[in-house]
Amino acid sequence: MADQTIQEIEAVVAAKQGVYETAVLQMDPDGDPLFEVAFETAQGVKIFWINSYDYYALKVGMKGLLRYKGDQLLSFGSWIKENFSMN
């Protein structure tokens, strides 16, 4: 079982991966495509799925406080205040 404790750690946006096909495998609860973002932290790389609004708000190299629970991104700096929940 994944750790469900809320974690907070300083992070840097290391990479982003967009989905540009019409047949998207991952969708958010509203049917919008999801995107991957990788954050470099002192604990290693953390990868999360985010929605398109949050994806386009981030730029590689941005630094901020990363909050997450298990494999769910909760927030990042002032750019992502509250990410959607897949549950």
pLDDT tens digits along 7-31? 999 999 998 876 544 444 566 666 6
pLDDT digits (tens, 9 = 90+) for 27-56: 666 667 788 899 999 999 999 988 888 888
Q: How far apart are CA 22 and CA 43, in angstroms?
A: 35
The full set of domain ranges for the chain reads: 6-76
Burial environment of residue 38 by CB neighbours within 10 A (0 to 12, 13 to 18, 19 or more): middle
Which CATH class for the 6-76 domain? mainly beta
